[in-house]
Structure 1
């Protein structure tokens, strides 16, 4: 079963949707598309992020994934992957879903990490059942919900600030670099690892594709921040 799930992921990753020559990955139209996707989420962002600067920062962190989602959404069907996840969990099958391209393992990590941190929220992350299969079904529903993805984005940022207090005092460019890299690479990593990875060109196709066809996720986030600041003036 592990082999079958692995093959499913490989087949999806081999879709012929990447360029064969070096080019600037994101164009002006991609940024506009990302902004349009965000417009329908304004009220949900305001529920969980209370200052305009924090809203822009949060949107900056996920903006690269928004643009990738806009390009890829018609190519990838996740139903079979969802069924495998419900049956076997994220250790066997893990995949990106929704506009922010979050993964079940990302939600699971934040849920577990929250228990050990003194964090306070205007929402709680609880499940109706202690049964793992039922929780996976409910977790998938959350992954498909824009508001729930924003809730987990808030949890991610608060967890990063709690785990790494020095983040709060950094200049905005440094904060964006580290938070966006943690979002892309994984929030479990040390700041030193995030600083090193911030320069690695593995977005949007991953480590198995040539670096010259890609950029770093942090670079996209920094560019998105400037774009959103101008758009919100």
Structure 2
């Protein structure tokens, strides 16, 4: 059974990687939004690289996986949405309002799931080092408001992402995967829900649901494929710097 599943997963990854040979040029597809996202992440890069070094993660992988979400980010819309919905969420919870916040477009339910998961690994040094050991997890106004406040801060969004990477590795044991396979799995997990089963996450790798949110956006793309394209760009760029 395991061998069969492993073979199916290998074939799926091979299919996605082969598609990269004939991939969209996402830089051209998304045009100005792609360039804007590059600039936004460049401002965040020192913070990403700092945490990647401290917690033994690949900063290029982090940049690549968040890149599709950063392309979606609209600062004006984000301010309006956060301002109008934070009151509903803080008073009544996620059943009444669950919305994307900040540059990495993280939802309160995403943050809450991370906070609960890390408590299972409280003995891990990274839990306290990232500041997840003293969070109030009560389902009340104060804890929900504190969660929103954290999500509005870029440093906390990076912390949540690092914690997600740790949780994914502990839950799904992906450290043994090849570099490209790991990138595709993490990108799909970030997009569909990192706490879903590995089998479900893998089915999302080739699924074409991603768009920029425009009413006339038309064609959809695979989130993981966009992340892989950006990852390959970053590897070429860092290669030239070595």
Q: Which residue number in structure 1 is paired with residue 65 of structure 2?
A: 61
Q: Which residue number in structure 1 is paired with residue 124 of structure 2?
A: 119
- Count of residues paired in the alignment: 206
Give the 3-state SS of the residue equivalent to 1:67 in structure 2. Answer: helix
Q: Which residue number in structure 2 is paired with residue 200 of structure 1?
A: 207
Rounded Cα–Cα distance in structure 1 between residues aligned with 2:135 and 2:91: 17
Rounded Cα–Cα distance in structure 1 between residues aligned with 2:44 and 2:212: 26
- TM value normalised by structure 1: 0.79
Displacement of 1:159 after TM fit? Answer: 0.4
Q: Does 1:97 align with 2:101?
A: yes
CA contact (8 A) 1:31 1:224 kept: no
CA contact (8 A) 1:65 1:99 kept: yes
CA contact (8 A) 2:211 2:220 kept: yes
Cα RMSD for the two superposed structures: 2.6
- TM value normalised by structure 2: 0.76
Q: Which residue number in structure 2 is paired with residue 225 of structure 1?
A: 231
Rounded Cα–Cα distance in structure 1 between residues aligned with 2:43 and 2:217: 34
* Superposition map of 1:1-233 within 5 A: 26-50=29-53, 54-69=58-73, 72-76=74-78, 77-78=80-81, 79-117=83-121, 118-121=123-126, 122-125=129-132, 126-127=134-135, 132-165=140-173, 167-204=174-211, 213-232=219-238, 233=240
Q: Which structure 2 segments of 5+ residues have no match?
A: 1-25
Any idea what the Cα deviations from partners look like across 1:124-176, whole Å, max 9, x if unmatched? 223369572111111111111110000000000000011111x1111111111
CA contact (8 A) 1:119 1:158 kept: no
Greater per-residue helix proportion: 2
Displacement of 1:212 after TM fit? Answer: 6.0
